[in-house]
Structure 1
Amino acid sequence: MRTLDVGFKAHVESGATTLATCWKLTRADEVVLGFTDHDQRLSFDGTDYEPMHGLDGSETGSRLGAQVDTGEVVGVLHSEAISEADIAAGLYDGAMVETWRVNWREVSERLLLRCTTIGEIVREDGQFRAELRSGQQALNRVRGRIYSPLCDAVLGDARCTVSSLHPDFALGCDRRLATCRERFGNVANFRGFPHIPGNDFVLKYPRGGDALDGGALVG
C-alpha cells in the first residue's frame, strides 16, 4: 500500500484537484529528460518537466505475482526532445522511466506511481509509441544457459570450434552427443549435459538385466 504525503492526500480528498502526470526519463548515457502532460513547465527534484504536445500515457494495472505489467506512452516526435534519429540509434533502449502524479499548483505535493523501463518503441506518422515495462520484466529474461542433453552451441562457432572446411560440415548437426562424437570427433567441445536424467527418468523402474552399476545413462 502506498503512503501518501499529507498535503497530497488532502488535495486528492478535496474533490477539486489540479493534477498532472510527469515522466522522468533517464537514458543509459545518464541524459535525463522530463516531460509532462500539463500545459506549463513543472520543476522538482532538479528536473524540469517540459510540456509536450500530444503526450499521453495509458493506464497500467498492477498485478500480483511475476506477470509483467505494461503500459505505454504516446507522443509527437520533436527534434529538440525525442527525435526519430535518437530512437533509431537506440539511445532510449532500456531507459528508466519514473511516472509521477503531481499537483501542478504545488509540486511538493506529488506521488511516484511507478518505475518502469522502456521496451519496444514504434515510430509512425510523426509519433512515437513507447512500451513501459515493469520491474518483473527482468524476472522473465533468460539468463545464463539452459541445462539440456543437447548441445547449445552453433555448428562452426567459437564454442563449437568445428571448421567449416570439415568434410561433414554440410550435413549439419542435430546437437546430440553421438553426432558430435561420431560425425565430428568433437566431444571435448560438446556444450550439452547428456548425463543429466531427462523427464522420462521419473517413469523408469528397475528391470531384470538392466546395468544398474551407477554408470552413465548415456554412452
Structure 2
Amino acid sequence: MRVFFNRELDTAATFWRIYRSDGVTLGFTSHDRDLVCGGIRHRAAPGMVPAAIRLNADLSNDSAEVEGALSHDSIRADELAAGLFDRAAIEIGIVDWQSLEWHTLYSGQLGPIESDSGSFSAELRSAKLILERDIVPRTSPTCRATFCGPQCGLSAARFTSVRELAALDVDLNRVSFAGLDSPILVDGRIRFLDGPQTGLVFGVVAMADGWLTLDRPLVEGTYPGTRTEIREGCDHTLETCATRFDNAINFRGEPHLPGNDLLARYGGGS
C-alpha cells in the first residue's frame, strides 16, 4: 500500500467522489489536470477543496466539510436547488498523481448544502451516524412502518402507477395529472422518470382542485408529458390500515396506549 507524505516532496493530490441518488457519479481532484483512478475520471477543480477532516478512533461522528465555487460545469446552482445532491454519498481521499495509487480517508453522506453569491458549502456526515440511530422502537399512536416497506408487508406495485404529467406550477410547487383527483394520494409520493429532477422522490403534502402540492422545490425544465411514477399515500392511522388496506395485523403502533397526559389528569370523584 502506498504510504503518503513520507518524503519532503510528495506527488499527492486530494480527490472526492459524489454518488448522487439519481445514479450520477461525479469525481473531482485538487490537481491541475484530470485524473482517472478507481475507474472514475476526477475532473480538475482546484477551486473546490475539502476542509479539515477529523477522524475518531471511537464511535463518535467523524467530521468534514467541503466548499467551492459554483462555476464548475458539474456543480450548478440549479442542480443544487433541484435537490440532486441531497443525501448523496461522498468519498474523500488522496491520490498519487503520477502512479495514480489512491486511498480513501473519509466516507459519508452530504448534509445540508448552503449556496450564496456563486459559492457553496456542505457539511459531510460520516457513516458512523448510523450508530446514533435509536434501534428500539418508541410507542406512537400512528404506525411507524414505512408504507409498503418490510414491516408494512403491502406490495408497492399494487399502489403504484406511471402517468404522464399534465401540468406543472413551479411558483406554487405543485403538479397535476389528467383524470387524477383523489385524496388517497396525500402522504404519497411521485418520482419523475425524465427531466432535470429524474429519480428524486417528492412527497405529496396536499391535494386540491386536481393539483398535488409537493414537499420539495420544483425547477424549470420538467414539461407536460413527462413520465411520472405515482404511489398512493397512507396517513398511518389504524382506521386507514384496517378499512382501506385490510392490513391491521401489520399495524406498528399503539393507538390505545394512554399518553403522558394521563399522569397529570385530576382523578376527581363523587
Please point out which of 120, 125, 133 is paired with 2:112. Answer: 120
Please point out which of 119, 132, 140 is paired with 2:124. Answer: 132
Provide the residue aligned with 2:255 in structure 1. 191
Contact kept in structure 2, 1:96 and 1:118, CA below 8 Å: yes
Distance 1:79 1:19 in 2: 22
Deviations 1:83-128 (CA, angstroms, capped at 9, x unpaired)? 11111111111111111201112212x2111211101100112111
Contact kept in structure 2, 1:25 and 1:33, CA below 8 Å: yes
Q: Is 1:58 matched up with 2:51?
A: yes
Distance 1:121 1:107, change over 3 A: same
Task: Give the 5 Å matches for 1:18-97.
Answer: 18-78=11-71, 80-97=73-90
Deviations 1:1-50 (CA, angstroms, capped at 9, x unpaired)? xxxx1xx22x5323221210000111111111111111111111221111
Please point out which of 237, 244, 253 is paired with 1:159. Answer: 237
Distance 1:70 1:132 in 2: 7
Distance 1:158 1:23, change over 3 A: closer
Aligned-partner SS, 2:105: strand
* Structure 1: stretches of 5+ with no match in the other structure: 163-188, 196-219
Provide the residue aligned with 2:99 in structure 1. 106
Contact kept in structure 2, 1:53 and 1:76, CA below 8 Å: no
Distance 1:39 1:82 in 2: 18
The number of residues matched between the two structures is 157
2:255 is aligned with what amino acid?
R
Distance 1:28 1:144 in 2: 28
Give the CA RMSD over aligned residues.
2.9
Distance 1:41 1:71 in 2: 24
Aligned-partner SS, 2:78: helix
- Bigger fraction of residues in strand: 2
Q: Is 1:14 matched up with 2:7?
A: yes
Identity among equivalent pairs (%): 29
> TM-score, normalising length from structure 1?
0.62
1:118 is aligned with what amino acid?
L
Aligned-partner SS, 1:59: coil
Provide the residue aligned with 1:210 in structure 2. none
Contact kept in structure 2, 1:27 and 1:96, CA below 8 Å: yes
Distance 1:20 1:144, change over 3 A: same
- Poorly superposed stretches of 4+, deviation over 3 Å: 141-145, 192-195
Alpha-carbon offset, residue 79 of structure 1: 6.0
- Bigger fraction of residues in helix: 1
* Structure 2: stretches of 5+ with no match in the other structure: 144-234, 241-252, 260-270
Distance 2:137 2:83 in 1: 26
> TM-score, normalising length from structure 2?
0.51
Distance 1:126 1:42 in 2: 25
Q: Highest Rg: 1 or 2?
A: 1
Aligned-partner SS, 2:5: helix
Distance 1:190 1:95, change over 3 A: closer
1:32 is aligned with what amino acid?
T
